[in-house]
Structure 1
Amino acid sequence: MGDDEVTYTTVKFHKSSDLQNRGRADEKQGPREAGRRECLVPWHLIAIPLGVLCSILLVTVAVLVTNIFQYSQEKNELQRSLNNLHQEKSTMQNDSYLKKEMFQNKSIECDALKDHLSSLNRTLNRCYQETKVVLDYKQHRGTSVEGHWFCYGIKCYYFIINKKIWIGCKQTCCDHSLSLLKIDDENELKFLQLQMNTNNYWIGLKYDETKGKWLWIGDGPFKHELNITVPNPKTGKCAFLSRTRLDNDNCFKSYSCICEKRLDKFPD
């Protein structure tokens, strides 16, 4: 009986020692494996939020950079607009100054023109008095003509309504101490045409067959500076003036007359 008990006790001790050894081994290995298992779970849980946070930070940085770039562009555009406004303001100030200066110059010119107009009016009055004396004097001799007169520059013109042939107009002007019209330049030509009605008027331009060219009364050459076509002598050798043209016709046609007299030819 004693041996059986010892044997049993020995077998039981073996088992318990194995269990103890295994338990110790488990105790030694258990904390490491448990630690590993415990450590693996939090890192996974932390990595996901960290990734999300990094993504949010990257998006935030990208948005900030974009906004900063747009702000910089807007700032540059505003600066350019401001510079343009300054330039426009400066230009407007210069224009205003120039307009003011121009207005002052125009005022001075206007005053000068007023003085010149007064001088012309005085000359016109003198011309009227002298012309009236000439015409009235000749009318007392029994020759009367119907017409009107006016002055331009240094000339006075008398438009005779009575229609005559070319030589008749020349003689009528001569009877009143006047001369058949001679046009000096294009400005005078345009001015006279503005004063005309629908009549045609003989003027002092005639074709000289002996010299083969057009001449004004007094043998003055016909100037091409008048910017008009030279009349063709085949259609007529005497020139007339109308509201629209300077032309020529048969000298025996009956037209009105234009006489002239220079102011420096009047007696003082």
Structure 2
Amino acid sequence: MSDEEITYATLRFHKSSSGLQDGGRPDETQVPSEASHRECSVPWYLIAIPLGILCSILLVTVAVLVKHIFQYSQEKHELQKTLNDLHQEYSTMQNDSYLREEMLRNKSIEFEALREHLDSLNRKQNRCRGETKVVLDCKQRTGKHVEARWFCCGIKCYYFIMDGKQWTGCKQTCQNCSLSLLKIEDDDELKFLQLQINPSSYWTGLSYETKKRKWQWIDDSPLKLDLNITNFNPNTRRCVFLSKTRLDDVECDQPYHCICERRQ
């Protein structure tokens, strides 16, 4: 009996141990499932890190690309501005070049005109006849012969009558000989005549009209020369004489020589 109880106890012990073993099996089966779960979660974690790194790289790349694109846009804008400035400078240089060409062309035209004018003056001067004495046949009106020295130059002939008269007397003498008192056209003719005359003074066809209150030539044309007028009185009749040094006015009753002219 005691052996059986011992055996029983032993059986119970083994049963309990077997039960413990049986009870431990679920635990053993649960441990591999948790391990498998852990084994499955570790690869996702390892994948997330590269993905994060890859996203960061992509963001950096995008940022770098945006920066380069912005810099490219800025450089393009600056280059376009520089190109526009160069184009404007080129257009300005073209305009300046055109203006210079126009100025050169105009100067060339002016030069040609001046050269032609000079050639014309030279031809006129070459046509000037030397001074000679002549006896003017004025007897058709006065029955007198008038002695004068004369020369022609260009389109005019000048007659120097060495006979002192008042202004009206010289005017009448020139008219009697189918001539007219001298009319000086411009400064060139004035300088030319001053080189030709002797130190005497000669009446010209210029006088001051008190009624019209202006200087005018005997053909009623206006004065275009500068007069060296001293103590001018507009209420008195004044006449202009020519000397080797000046063209001036004086009272018309002074006795001066005469310069008559005629056109060829």
TM-score, normalised by the number of residues in structure 1: 0.57
CA distance in 1, matches of 2:43, 2:210: 138
Q: 2:14 aligns with which of 6, 9, 13?
A: 9
Q: Deviations over 1:212-260 (max 9, x none)?
A: 997744xx3x22374889x864143323469999764322457x76724
Residue 180 of structure 1 and its aligned partner are, at CA, apart by 3.1
Which residue number in structure 2 is paired with residue 34 of structure 1?
39
SS at match of 1:182: coil
2:261 alignment partner, SS class: strand
Match of 1:54 among 51, 58, 80: 58
Shift of 1:12: 1.1
CA deviation string 1:160-211 (max 9, x = no partner): 9x9x67439938x85xx7753124xxxx2333444559x9864223457899
Gaps (5+ residues) in structure 2?
Answer: 1-5, 136-144
Residues 106-121 of structure 1 aligned to structure 2 (within 5 Å): 116-117=120-121, 119-121=123-125
Q: Which residue of 1 aligns with 2:141?
A: none
* Gap change, CA 1:101 and 1:214, over 3 Å in 2: closer
2:97 and 2:86 map into 1 onto residues whose CA distance is 16
Distance 1:33 1:144 in 2: 147
Query: Residue type matched to 1:27 in 2?
Result: P
What does 1:151-190 align with in structure 2 at a 5 Å threshold? 151=153, 153-157=154-158, 166-167=166-167, 170=170, 179-183=180-184, 188-190=185-187
The total of aligned residue pairs comes to 241
Structure 2 SS opposite 1:224? coil
Distance in 2 (CA, whole Å) between partners of 1:165 and 1:82 is: 77
List alignment gaps of at least 5 residues for structure 1: 136-140
Q: Post-superposition shift, 1:107?
A: 9.0
Identity in percent: 20
Which residue does the alignment assign to 1:134? 134
3-state SS in 1 of match to 2:240 = strand
Partners of 1:101 and 1:156 lie apart in 2 by 36
- 1:88 is displaced (CA, Å) by 6.3
Q: Distance in 1 between matches of 2:208 and 2:96?
A: 61
**1:223 matches 2:200:** no
Q: In the alignment, is the contact (CA less than 8 A) between 1:157 and 1:258 conserved in 2?
A: no
1:106 offset after TM fit, Å? 7.8
Q: How far apart, in 2, do the equivalents of 1:210 and 1:109 lie?
A: 42
Tell me if structure 1 keeps the 8 A contact 2:207–2:216: yes
State the alpha-carbon separation in 2 of the partners of residues 209 and 90 from structure 1: 57
Name the CA shift for 1:88/1:208 in 2 (closer, same or farther; >3 Å). closer
Letter in 2 for 1:7: R
Distance 1:194 1:88, change over 3 A: same
